[in-house]
Amino acid sequence: MSQLTDALASNIGAGDGPGLGKGKGKRPGKPAKVPRGKFSVHFAHYKWLYLLLLPGVLYFAVFRYGPMYGVSIAFKEYVPFLGVNGSPWVGFSHFQDFFANPDFPRLLGNTLILAFLNLGIAFPLTIVLALLLNEVRLSILKRTVQTLVYIPHFLSWTIVASLSFLLFALDIGPLFQLLNNLMGTDIDFLSDPAWFRPLIVLQDIWKNTGWGTIIFLAALATVDQDQYEAAIIDGAGRFRRVWHITLPGIRSTIIVMLILAIGQTLNTGFEQIYLMTNALNREVADVFDTYVYFVGITQGAYSYSTAVGLFKSLVGIVLIFGTNALAKRFNQSGLF
């Protein structure tokens, strides 16, 4: 009996046993390794993945990296009939003019205030909404609420601004009448500079908060359910489970999304601001995006407006790298 056992053990160790295939330690169903250092073999093995990657690469090459050639006019005195190559170089003079411009502090202040209002209000609300939806156990109710909060994302800013004008129109808007009756005042919400920023933040919350929950809901689906069961056995309430299990479970996702949001600090969005701006609230409504449009398109200062846009982009890159480095410093996962 012992001799039979030893014989079977030797056959299995040599890889000749049933179902193990040829070769020592090789298991059935294990994919063959692609030789490293041979790109042709590697490409042939993963050709369909590269084919799926091709549209994204073409998009970024044509619409993202291709137009960067025109950024050089920020350092030139661009003359249309001379072209980009024929226009004379002026160095950093456009940047110096922009920083010395009296409008620079106002533009920077308006942009930062709107950005941090959205970052401090809209971003946490996205997480809160995802947590609330995750706690809904009735499947039909959950899907219905998700659909309702997703729909505004597919509306253009033109429609959102039009709805705002209808709701807050002077004398005839239903929200205009309701709020003024409650406060006992007669405020024109669309023209009053003090109400411009609250309206912008409310629009952004209504339009984008539901859509932003998609990533957080996907992250919540990966949280280990056994931890919830153990917490329930230990007597932890719903709030305790969210605080000690759910939020730590999606902490890495929150940090990555926060880094991306901070990188978009100066990118407040042109369409929304432009549509809600008028002669009475322009003092608080002008931001870098609208300033680039008015100076570059309406006044024809192409080189100057390009310098302003390049400054905004460089600040965004610095914020992304800085926030990512700060996250790494505190032993948190970042973008890279």
The domain locations on the chain are 1-30, 39-91, 95-329
Which residues are CB-neighbours of 333 under 8 A, at least 6 positions away? 252, 255, 256, 327
List, for the chain, all residue ranges whose pLDDT scores fall below the cut of 50: 1-26
Model pLDDT, residue 177? 86
Longest pairwise C-alpha distance within the chain? 101
Is the CB of residue 209 less than 8 Å from the CB of residue 129? yes
Virtual torsion, Cα 78, 83, 89, 92, nearest 10 deg? 40
Model pLDDT, residue 216? 92
Please tell me what DSSP assigns to residue 243: I
Model pLDDT, residue 37? 56
Cα–Cα distance for residue pair 166/159, rounded to 1 Å:
11
Of 96, 102, 117, 121, nearest to 273 by C-alpha is 117
Model pLDDT, residue 43? 79
Model pLDDT, residue 136? 86
pTM assigned to the model: 0.77
Model pLDDT, residue 32? 52
3-state secondary structure 209-231: HHHHHHHHHHHHCCCCHHHHHHH
Model pLDDT, residue 203? 93
Model pLDDT, residue 62? 92
Class of domain 95-329: mainly alpha
